[in-house]
Structure 1
């Protein structure tokens, strides 16, 4: 069939389509549908199919509310049968290509691989890498830990979203050769909760060897909680769906929309009551996830693979604009966050909190509040990981400062997720998109080109070189803490914001 290409996998043949010189396969199942008795259970292998499967349309997105701030196609189909991958690859070559696997963000309860911004055409067009994007369970179905409600008749397993991601990486290991990819050279990359999934997976023994490099963009790496907290959230969830604990097994039969609605209530309620926390996130279950990830990095227990990690200069701005409870962006909520951290970390010296507060002279004004919230959620966890990981494996750190004139005028700047269109080269996926109303397109395209070349070079060769004469990106270590500041022109800065780093210290602060 003209303009198509069939890939062979152990589960059956998959037909993709030539889209402007890049072959694309969409909606390939990597696991069995997690429905019926498999709801709230770990993923199972997909069924073998006969004939050639037409893989030209995205699979359904995971069950979630479509009335949210993340731009999803209004025509998106939601279904529990959502465990699919998509593949972008240049025409076949004699040698297998390195693979880059994208894990999307969305605060662990939103998002999908079919979001237009994640179209990987431009990344794959270079011919240097094959790109895979992954759907996995989110929210109630993927990151609500109901294991405390298990009984002899009904078992609820932990960290289902992470288990889905591992199953997808196992699919890559077993199947990507049929698409021209090299299963022995896999880079995972992701943003926000996708990046937090990656920093967690880097400490998961079962994920060892499934990926060989990692890029973590703005990971909320300390938003991983303990079993006791997870059990408390699970009981509150039962209250919302009007079930007694002894009847938790009925969750397997309840309508999807009823579970989504209760999950959305949790998403708003939990961070409002305890600012700085998420309702649903990975859990230290001592099984799949044996340790709190940042502590595992500091103990040298993370997989010793090359890592790029970084944050954006103005992470909190978009949360303030949306009035989202997911980040504390008022003086009162930041104070409540610190009160909660002190209560959750026995023996934390009061003078340490005082030193941190003193490092933000703009408090309690909005500028200081957003800076402190940014550092608590993203920058310091990334700093702690970079410091620790650089002792054991090659590490590169960045700070994304680039913002168009319009985003600066709107006081959004380099907000959370602002780097995504630069990494994928996809501008204009929002409708309407104000990004270039005051100009700046040429500069943005130049920055995007450098970022894509660095990301692809890292995936293909293990070194984030722009390959165009741009600034050489020096590896990060604890002596210099050299950081690439990505802006109109890339610059290398040793230990940026050193005063803030020293105020926070090296001991991890977070909720358990």
Structure 2
């Protein structure tokens, strides 16, 4: 059976599905979408009230209903964020009124299609669901309902000001995570109207989006909102204590020259001022304390009651199937972009190790042949930020629920010649199958297309069954366990490997080394 033959086929629906501008009823009101080839798209649908004015720094509130049919052909505004380059978000309007959801469905007349809900990445301070990289038409055409959405990021979504709350002026924690819960609740209440099954929901994300997924696995209030999870390159350990979060908040206030007794002034500042101060804080903190970022989920004792890796080890995470993995050369992207978010020079990697300070951490460089030369330092950085936290998470979760581990190790010829390898985010073009930048596809068009088909087939099968093994497709992807550590490697030819990078894994050991 070929990959394409094994892929689920979308059944053509009647009724609303026959129109090029179909209308669907949601709990808040009717929306008019648009037919785009094989799929139907509905965009910019509010899933919560605009978090503006007195609602800035507060949990999301229910969206207001509307009477007329709302046009849903275009994306809504993206969350306030810095402009990072000529292809950055300046081409899309920004607004605090950004809490909107998008749905792509292959069949409005279907009943019970599996649902995949995507959380975009971007280091918790950039990114949006409107990024062309996340065009999910090809993924949805394989028989799933795809949901993407915007959520608050940066200072407005992941800076914890809750310790400055007073009786009259409340600031809440983990606002980005709370937005994601609101989006998932919207899916539960509305997805049947788009052909989806609210009881077959897969939450998936990449980078900080995957970090949000692994944090959500240990969020009690997420129980029942999703039934499977996929975490692509999750910084699982980048979740901080309330004490660490308060230090970041204090630095943020100093940048704005606001005293701790006047935090209420933050609600009156223009969003651009908050974005600028947060961006400067991120650069400063990442340079001063390599391996950390001041905007990230926080263990607040409320929404996030425990450090996620600790909760997983105790069996306190949601006991649902998990597909999780990393890319072989994660840190190369941050080196290429000169981004301090992940240490990407010999000097910053060494400062990261020294800051950890424990005997176990200080002994780590000895396990990396050639250290402190750059290649070895980047391998250590990849392991610290992504690979080892992912292994610890998979090891813990596998004791309580089906867990599937992967490594992405496919490099187009042009990137291989440039020495960049399978860097952070390289798998995204294959998961979504959208437009591929030339430098990612040059010389690898046919092999890249085949890999896209295989990855999409695995992802959608997992979304449907909780198991990434389509009937009759080889090689079989085994469950991960701490005895064999069998890992599925995506490359030119997929294979299963027991304990890849085992020597380095053993050098780290099973004790969690955390940046808290």
Asked if Structure 1 and Structure 2 have the same fold, meaning a TM-score greater than 0.5 normalized by the shorter chain, the answer is yes
Question: 1:8-407 alignment to 2 at 5 Å?
Answer: 8-68=25-85, 71-72=87-88, 74-126=90-142, 128-342=143-357, 348=358, 350=359, 352-407=360-415
Q: Aligned-pair distance for 1:505? A: 0.8
**Aligned equivalents of 2:93, 2:310: Cα separation in 1:** 39
Q: Aligned-pair distance for 1:434? A: 1.8
Q: Which string of whole-angstrom CA distances, capped at 9 and with x for unpartnered residues, describes residues 439-465 of structure 1?
A: 111101100110000001110122112
Secondary structure at 2:166 match in 1: coil
What is the aligned counterpart of 2:447 among 443, 453, 462? 443
Q: Aligned-pair distance for 1:307? A: 0.3
**Aligned equivalents of 1:299, 1:436: Cα separation in 2:** 43
Secondary structure at 1:371 match in 2: helix
Q: Aligned-pair distance for 1:328? A: 1.0
Secondary structure at 1:434 match in 2: helix
Q: Which string of whole-angstrom CA distances, capped at 9 and with x for unpartnered residues, describes residues 416-473 of structure 1?
A: 0000001001233x5xx32233x11110110011000000111012211255733111
What is the aligned counterpart of 2:475 among 459, 471, 476? 471
**Aligned equivalents of 1:470, 1:97: Cα separation in 2:** 25
Structure 1 moving runs of 4+ over 4 Å: none
**Aligned equivalents of 1:91, 1:97: Cα separation in 2:** 9
**Aligned equivalents of 1:397, 1:455: Cα separation in 2:** 13
TM-score by length of 2: 0.95
Secondary structure at 2:496 match in 1: strand
Aligned-pair Cα RMSD in Å: 1.3
Which segments of 5 or more consecutive residues in structure 1 lack a partner in the other structure?
343-347
TM-score by length of 1: 0.95
Q: Aligned-pair distance for 1:74? A: 3.8
What is the aligned counterpart of 1:7 among 15, 20, 24? 24
Could you say which residue in structure 2 is the equivalent of 1:345? none
- The answer to whether 1:510 aligns with 2:476 is no
Q: Aligned-pair distance for 1:508? A: 0.8
What is the aligned counterpart of 1:408 among 416, 429, 433? 416
Could you say which residue in structure 1 is the equivalent of 2:12? none
- The answer to whether 1:480 aligns with 2:480 is no
**Aligned equivalents of 2:268, 2:362: Cα separation in 1:** 50
Q: Aligned-pair distance for 1:6? A: 1.4
- The answer to whether 1:452 aligns with 2:452 is no
Q: Aligned-pair distance for 1:95? A: 2.4
Question: How many aligned positions are there?
Answer: 499
What is the aligned counterpart of 1:434 among 435, 439, 443? 439
Checking the alignment, whether the CA contact within 8 Å between 2:331 and 2:342 is kept in structure 1 is yes
